[in-house]
Amino acid sequence: MVRTLPEYEIKHIYTGQVIREESPDGEVFWRGPVWEGSYTFGTPYLAAPPAGEDNPPSRPDGEVGHPGAALFTAHCAGCHNLTPEHSAGPHLHGLIGRRAGNVAEFNASAALSGLDVVWTPENLASYIVDPNQFAPGTTMAAAGVTPEEAQTIAEFLALKR
């Protein structure tokens, strides 16, 4: 699977796994790393311009500097895309105004697809705060955000029409 990330600030980390071994006489030693790799993390649509940049590039849809962008990256981007491409969860492009559990080429849970709900920033914020209370049996886990943070994320997603 190839996944294109929109305008991410790229940061790499090295990760490795070591194995704990113990000799017959009780001496402990570590062998490894036995696996190597790197992950790319970033912030789409940087919430603040890089240091020393006076005139950051602007977006016509008002996303630059939106506090919901950083919250989305921290709490949602691991499972959801802003572009019309699914990840572990459904893409969120055009979410506001769409019927819950109804997105092309994604098999939503019965808990969501059985709801008679059209997403608004208000009901989406309620869902983000406590998905299982909003739609018992949903596969989405709580993101661990406050109601105010959830509302900010929902307002940011309203820009993604």
Q: Where residue 99 sits, what CATH number does that domain have?
A: 1.10.760.10
Residue 45 lies in a domain: no
d(CA 80, CA 82): 7
Asked if the structure places residue 106 within a domain, the reply is yes
Domain that holds residue 84: 67-158
Is 80 within a domain?
Answer: yes
Does any domain span residue 131? Answer: yes
53 in a structural domain: no
For residue 22, what pLDDT band results from cuts at 50, 70 and 90? confident
pLDDT tens digits along 119-136: 999 999 999 999 999 999
Q: What is the count of structural domains for the chain? A: 1
Determine, yes or no, domain membership for 19.
no
pTM of the model: 0.61
